[in-house]
């Protein structure tokens, strides 16, 4: 007897359905549905609320944290030129994280129930519903949890006085990434650079989904030869 292929019901919460797709999940998740109205994820209103984030919450929440981190290094005696270098280095490191996370974690191929489920929550939902404006930026609650190990990693590698500015630079890079990502999907750029970046990113969604992993720039795609 041949098992009947599982079909996702888009009118029901999706998160605990997609795992049943098994090996067909990758094909399903890379067939985008273009709609500004996203699907429901969970039956629970609480968990559903945590998955939805307006774009402006990212700078509103995290830019004060960036400023606080930078001010800590200033109070510890670092002059502004040194602060600028540390923040710039933090942003640069973030661009590498942006590329590597997107390429090697967000685009990992899964086929098990929990593998598909976790992947859908991390990134698959964005490829399935790329214009869902409330699920384009990373939920602040999840970011807050992830900040703890990243802070400890920077603290391990840097000095006590440089750690805050380096971490603040990385966090600033993240804010720039998330806001840029939202703009590339929903903004209407008029300048050449922004228009090219929007085209570059939408190509990743609608044409060549295994290339073009950079969001804020194509720099690391050029370095690692993953240009579309």
Does pTM surpass 0.85?
yes
Helix ranges (H only) for the chain are 25-29, 45-50, 57-75, 80-100, 113-119, 125-128, 140-157, 163-186, 192-206, 219-223
Calpha distance 142→51 (Å, rounded): 10
**Contacts by 217-223, CB closer than 8 A, 24 or more apart:** 217/95, 219/95, 220/95, 220/96, 220/98, 220/99, 220/100, 221/99
The per-residue pLDDT for 5 is 78
Task: Quick: pLDDT tens for 42-78.
Answer: 999 999 999 999 999 999 999 999 999 999 999 999 9
* pLDDT band at residue 4 using 50, 70 and 90 as cut-offs: low
Task: Quick: pLDDT tens for 170-205.
Answer: 999 999 999 999 999 999 999 999 999 999 999 999
102-47-44-134 Cα dihedral, nearest 10 degrees: -60
- Cβ density class 46-58: b for 16+ within 10 Å, e for less: eeeeebebebeeb
Task: Quick: pLDDT tens for 113-172.
Answer: 999 999 999 999 999 999 999 999 999 999 999 999 999 999 999 999 999 999 999 999
Neighbours of 72 (CB within 10 A): 17
Going from the C-alpha of 6 to that of each of 20, 25, 100, 114, the distances in angstroms are 7, 10, 32, 16
């Amino acid at each position: 007897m041949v098992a009947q292929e599982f079909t996702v019901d888009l009118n029901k919460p999706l998160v605990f359905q997609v795992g049943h797709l098994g090996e067909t999940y990758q094909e399903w998740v890379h067939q985008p549905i273009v709609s500004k109205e996203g699907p429901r994820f969970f039956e629970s209103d609480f968990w559903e609320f945590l998955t939805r984030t307006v774009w402006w919450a990212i700078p509103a929440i995290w830019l004060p944290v960036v400023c606080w981190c930078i001010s800590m290094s200033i109070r510890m005696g670092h002059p502004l030129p040194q602060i600028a270098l540390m923040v710039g280095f933090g942003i640069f490191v973030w661009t590498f994280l942006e590329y590597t996370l997107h390429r090697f974690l967000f685009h990992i191929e899964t086929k098990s129930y929990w593998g598909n489920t976790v992947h859908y929550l991390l990134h698959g939902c964005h490829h399935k519903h790329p214009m869902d404006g409330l699920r384009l930026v990373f939920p602040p609650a999840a970011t807050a949890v992830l900040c703890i190990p990243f802070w400890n990693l920077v603290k391990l590698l840097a000095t006590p006085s440089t750690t805050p500015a380096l971490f603040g630079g990385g966090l600033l890079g993240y804010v720039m990434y998330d806001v840029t990502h939202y703009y590339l999907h929903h903004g209407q750029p008029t300048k050449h650079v922004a228009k090219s970046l929007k085209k570059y990113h939408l190509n990743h969604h609608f044409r060549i989904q295994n290339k073009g992993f950079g969001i804020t720039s194509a720099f690391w795609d050029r370095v690692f030869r993953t240009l579309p």
